[in-house]
Amino acid sequence: MPRFLSMIRIEENKISEDDFPEELGERMGKLLEEITKAGVMLDTAGLRPTAEGTRVTWSDGKISYTDGPFTETKEVIGGYSITQCKDKAEALEWAKRFLEIHPERWTITCEVREIEEG
């Protein structure tokens, strides 16, 4: 069965830790339990803020490092999951369900891509 990488894109500057509703953690836990019991979830995690990250760039034969936060970037990857689904339609259904547990006022994008198997 194919594996899929789902990357959660958020506008980091628009969502503070105080903006997380209490019930979000409960809804998230229930969905993650369901997807795990279904045998689909292989790995998932949220990511620390970009202020704690570093970008490594290769350009013109040289490496450069840029410490966060990355203010020029509107959206950043806030989390990811790796799932094993029967097809892309199933992966998209799980992504839809994940997005729907978040507050309606938030703008979140989930990019779903199949992992190239070698």
pLDDT higher at 23 or 71: 23
CA angle 93–98–101, rounded 5-degree value:
125
Tell me the per-residue pLDDT of 33-84, one tens digit each, with 9 for 90 and over. Answer: 999 999 999 999 999 999 999 999 999 999 999 999 887 778 899 999 999 9
| Domain around 9 | 3-114
Please report how many Cα atoms fall inside a 13 Å half-sphere around the Cα of residue 86, on the Cβ side.
4
Quick check: pTM over 0.85?
Answer: yes
The answer on pLDDT for 95 being more than 70 is yes
Q: How many domains does the chain have?
A: 1
Q: CB of 27 within 8 A of CB of 101?
A: yes
CA 35 vs CA 29, 39, 100: distances in Å: 10, 7, 15
Question: Which candidate, 95, 87, 109, 94, places its Cα nearest to that of 3?
Answer: 87
Domain with 62 in it: what CATH number?
3.30.70.1060
CA distance 45 to 78: 9
According to DSSP, residue 96 is labeled H
